[in-house]
Amino acid sequence: MITFDEALKIVTSGDVKPETELVGFKSSLNRILAEDVRSDMDMPPFHKSAVDGYACRREDIDAIMEVVEMIPAGKAPGKTIGKNQCAKIMTGAPMPEGADTVIMVEDVEELEKNKIRYLKEKVKDNICYRGEDIRESEVVLKKGTLIQPQHIAVMATAGCVQPLVYRKVRVGLISTGDELVEPEIKPDISQIRNSNAYQLIAQIERMGALGIYYGIALDTEASTREKIVASFRENDIILLTGGVSMGDFDYVPAVLKDLGVEILFKSIAVQPGRPTVFGKKENKFVFGLPGNPVSSFVQFELLVKPLIYKLSGYAYATMKFKLPMAKEYTRKKSTRLSWIPVKINENSAVEPLEYHGSAHINALTIADGLVAVPIGETCLKQGELVDVRQI
Ligand code: AMP
Ligand code: MG
């Protein structure tokens, strides 16, 4: 049995060279940029008014000014502003020549036709200057960025409509277990519904990777082998659930070995998820995750996700929040690093949730995150600061 840190190191060590492809920027959410994005123009591209108002010369703001034209957004100004002149201007419209200030429409009194007077003394310039946000050919997004909606806005602004991204990682999924039926079926007395496959596909797809399902393998060597062989052909990672413990019908590790997979670990000092198996064959990776749903969920978060991100070209670091425990949490044994589901309450304190162990999947439905109880510790004290790992 190895520690979690050792397991994570094994899973994420080694060099990878992910392939790249061009995609439309509109469908690039959750992909990883494979090159820097540069802007093809200044932003703003011209000096523009930041408010609705009157563009004028600062030195004239105490005078009565003549309105010489109106400049809506999207129109080029036609006139130069001279002494005691101004142009009515809308937010986002280009500044006219000669003007260096925009007085806000709220602070202006309209006198007779085409004459105005500014009602205040001081004035800000109220101009967004050309290039103040982005300079032409400046790098606006870095290689390795995980594309979120705000990055899509920047690509649109910069004219990057076909970003180069890393190829989607393909993850093959196999559930094992004679007791499993698919969710559409009402299980009979000895059966349960397969929840792991669909949970894992959702976890994979949330990351922007591809989850490909190969169905349920029976608890026989032949059936397990057939599914693994099929999934090996088409995927970067194969995830199996179930069949990795000490039961008489837990064939997964033996079949993997027989197929030439080098098993790098098969037991980790983590709860839930002790019998997690990890192996490698050529440039493909295999996880045998324990069948209990909380175990497969947690081990995906802890070990599979970092590998998927690594193969996707993303330098992933978990987002953690340090928050105080709302009440004490205790456990009896402390031989494994344990992960407990928690909720963050209205005082931003961490409430451990009622949790009966690794089969209790509905405990996760109201959880905001997981908190680790380290090896050797049996207690998290009230008020103690803990790292909450968001799920
Ligand atoms: P195993 O790891 O195969 O010994 O399974 C451990 C427990 O998880 C057993 O109670 C299984 O019935 C349950 N289990 C295994 N696979 C699944 C699955 N795909 N969905 C839900 N529960 C499962
Ligand atoms: Mg089983």
Lowest mean pLDDT among 18-22, 239-243, 320-324: 320-324
Is pTM beyond 0.75 here? yes
Amino acid 304: pLDDT: 98
Return the structure tokens found at 164: 């180069």
Counting from 1 in the atom list of ligand 1, the atom nearest the Cα of 241 is 16
Per DSSP, what are the bridge partners of residue 28?
Answer: none
Fold of 48-128: Molybdopterin biosynthesis moeA protein; domain 3 (2.170.190)
User: How far apart are the CA of 42 and the centre of ligand 1, in A?
Assistant: 57
pLDDT band at residue 389 under the 50/70/90 scheme: very high
User: How far apart are the CA of 288 and the centre of ligand 1, in A?
Assistant: 12
Which CATH architecture does the domain made up of 20-43+135-166 adopt? Alpha-Beta Complex (3.90)
pLDDT exceeds cutoff 90 at 386: yes
pLDDT band at residue 231 under the 50/70/90 scheme: very high
Counting from 1 in the atom list of ligand 1, the atom nearest the Cα of 243 is 3
pLDDT exceeds cutoff 90 at 7: yes
pLDDT in tens, 246-303: 888 899 999 999 999 999 999 999 999 999 999 999 999 999 999 999 999 999 999 9
Amino acid 122: pLDDT: 81
**Residue of 227, 241, 298 to mutate, ligand 1, most atoms within 8 A of C-beta:** 241
Amino acid 181: pLDDT: 98
Query: What single DSSP character describes residue 167?
Result: P
List of residues 6+ apart from 220 with CB closer than 8 A: 249, 251
User: How far apart are the CA of 192 and the centre of ligand 2, in A?
Assistant: 11
Q: Which residues surround ligand 2, an ion (CB under 5 A)?
A: 177, 242-243, 291
Within the chain, which residue ranges are assigned CATH 3.40.980.10?
Answer: 4-16+168-311
Going by their DSSP bridges, the two strands 210-217 and 101-104 should be labelled as unpaired
pLDDT in tens, 137-147: 999 999 999 99
Q: Does domain 320-385 have CATH number 2.40.340.10?
A: yes
Q: Dihedrals φ, ψ of 378, to 5°?
A: -110, -5
Within the chain, which residue ranges are assigned CATH 2.40.340.10?
Answer: 320-385
Q: Which ligand is nearest to the CA of 292?
A: 1
Amino acid 320: pLDDT: 85
User: How far apart are the CA of 357 and the centre of ligand 2, in A?
Assistant: 17
pLDDT band at residue 113 under the 50/70/90 scheme: confident
pLDDT in tens, 14-62: 888 999 999 999 999 999 999 999 999 999 999 999 999 999 999 999 9
Amino acid 123: pLDDT: 82
Cα–Cα distance for residue pair 363/355, rounded to 1 Å: 6
- The burial of 312, by beta-carbon neighbours within 10 Å (0-12 exposed, 13-18 middle, 19 or more buried), is given as buried
Query: Which of 184, 203, 197, 204 is CA-nearest to residue 227?
Result: 197
Q: Please tell me the number of Cα atoms within 13 Å of 352 on its side-chain side.
A: 23
Within the chain, which residue ranges are assigned CATH 3.90.105.10?
Answer: 20-43+135-166
Cα–Cα distance for residue pair 94/46, rounded to 1 Å: 6
Q: Which ligand is nearest to the CA of 247?
A: 1
Cβ-based neighbour number of residue 229 at 10 Å: 11
User: How far apart are the CA of 196 and the centre of ligand 1, in A?
Assistant: 8
User: How far apart are the CA of 219 and the centre of ligand 2, in A?
Assistant: 7
Are 39 and 53 within 8 A, CB to CB?
A: no
Q: Which ligand is nearest to the CA of 249?
A: 2
User: How far apart are the CA of 129 and the centre of ligand 1, in A?
Assistant: 62
Take atom 16 of ligand 1 and give the residue whose Cα is closest. 291
The helix/strand/coil state of 10 is helix
**Residue of 287, 292, 299, 358 to mutate, ligand 1, most atoms within 8 A of C-beta:** 292
Fold of 4-16+168-311: Molybdenum Cofactor Biosythetic Enzyme; Chain A (3.40.980)
Take atom 11 of ligand 1 and give the residue whose Cα is closest. 291
Q: Please tell me the number of Cα atoms within 13 Å of 180 on its side-chain side.
A: 22
Residues with CB under 6 A from ligand 1: 175, 177, 179-180, 192, 194-197, 241-245, 247, 290-293
Amino acid 125: pLDDT: 96
Amino acid 299: pLDDT: 97
Cα 178 to chain center, whole Å?
A: 35
Q: Please tell me the number of Cα atoms within 13 Å of 238 on its side-chain side.
A: 29
**Following DSSP, what letter does each residue of 194-213 receive, concatenated?**
--HHHHHHHHHHHTT-EEEE
Per DSSP, what are the bridge partners of residue 86?
Answer: 56, 67
Q: Where are the alpha helices (DSSP H) in the chain?
A: 4-12, 149-158, 196-206, 221-234, 252-258, 293-299, 305-311
**Residue of 179, 192, 193, 252 to mutate, ligand 1, most atoms within 8 A of C-beta:** 192
Return the structure tokens found at 375: 């090896």
User: How far apart are the CA of 240 and the centre of ligand 1, in A?
Assistant: 11
pLDDT exceeds cutoff 90 at 112: no
pLDDT in tens, 159-206: 999 999 999 999 999 999 999 999 999 999 999 999 999 999 999 999
Mean pLDDT across the chain, nearest whole number? 96
